[in-house]
Structure 1
Amino acid sequence: MSIPELTGFLILTGIAAYAQTLTGFAFGLITMGGVGLTGILSLPDAAMIVSMLTLVNATQMLLKGWRDVAWRQLGLIMAASIPMILVGYLLLEWLAGSHVDLLRLFLGTVIIVSSLQLARKPEPLAEPSGNGTFLFFGGISGVMGGMFSTAGPPLVYHFYRQPMPLTIIRETLVTVFALTAIFRISLVAVYCDLPSSSSMSALLAVPVVTGATYAARRWPPPLSPFTMRRIVFFLLLLSGIALGLPAVMRLS
């Protein structure tokens, strides 16, 4: 990566880490959307880097928040998610090899659908959902995590409907992201598909992610959670459209 490319990536990951710390989601979506638009990394390399940075962000957040994790729901989610992470990862490798425009269209669609879903305020349920729903959303999350390191949107929607304290929801989601990142990194290592040395320079974003996470906890902006969600929604929607539209034109 050139110096301008690396600088842009550091800014992008800083914004993504700040947003995720405040909202509990969006790190992978913002980073992958920005990478897809700029082309500073290949999408498979970017997904690997995002997994590593997600793990950094999640570990920092869980140092104090791990006691608030909903362990039963977490177990159900990971039971369904882990095998589907493999499915998503293999799908990414296949599309990246010979269907790059289709891959970009798929990523753009995922970002647009996720942004529209996250913009809605989920209607809270009177009773907690059954075990099967956590298995279902865990499976969808696994496919998205395996492909783009963006496991969040299906689970964010499902969890924010549960009659749970927001602290438990946030810390459980972050734990899912951490475990998904660990498993995905292990898959990349097993398949010997590590990013090039040039791409690995993107790991210089680790202190940026750490600093942005600390800043978001220490100095949150004077904005309501609803306003923050709307800002993230517009960022994601615009990036998804800008990413998917050129791919549609090339494929048509």
Structure 2
Amino acid sequence: MSAISLYAKPSPDFAQKLAHSLALIKTAATEYSPLTQASSLGCEDMVITHLMHEAGLDNASASIFVLDTGMLHLETVALVKRIEERYPFKIDVYHPDADAASAFVEENGSQAMYKSLALRKQCCHIRKMEPLERALAGKKGWLTGLRREQSAARAEVHDIEQQPERAKVNPLVEWTQGDIWHYISVNAIPYNPLHDQFFPSIGCAPCTRAVTLGEDFRSGRWWWENESAKECGLHVAADGTHEAQEPAAFEPLSSIIPIREIQA
């Protein structure tokens, strides 16, 4: 059963949400130029890429970047080519510093993220945060796929969040999961086939699993940690809001089964 058949159920006010999102993206392209999209290649970000195209944007008015951590699912990486084949965008792909990533694995092992929150966050910093800084350098605005429905930590997200150096624009804050999959269905938007296998939120392969009925959207991310730790740092406020504390204990490593073995 596909994610579309399961979830494609638009809200009664979906047309108004769509109009608002398109208007917000057009405004952002004008007021926060140079503008970029931070794409995780998840379903929300594929919707935003399509909305950018619908809003008349291309590489002359906005850019799109992807953080290839070196540990993504093959299904995720394959979407870069599919985007470039369909839309007028050339995707900028940022990789972690190869020496830093190799040194981390050599010192801490390939499963370091399971050992402690500190090591998991260090891995995220090397593979996501440092490349993100390079990707956002010189940009005045960035588009993200954050939705209030995704988690308690994101329940207060606003359309536009002014950060010290740029504006963070979240066109989908009011969209539901049903809205997302309705729009994907109507527009035949390409998406990660892992969504059809009950992966609502897809990150690095060792840190992502499928979820079961009734679980939170992000319960499949870093599932061995406590609930307050479900962010990598990309969407944590500069003042530390939502920054997780070290949990009292982790599950024994023997009980943690990575989704797929990935080489650094």
Fold match by TM threshold 0.5: no
Q: What is the TM-score of this pair, normalised by structure 2?
A: 0.24
Rg larger for: 2
Q: Which has the higher contact order (CA 8 A, sep 6+)?
A: 1
Q: Which has the higher helix share?
A: 1
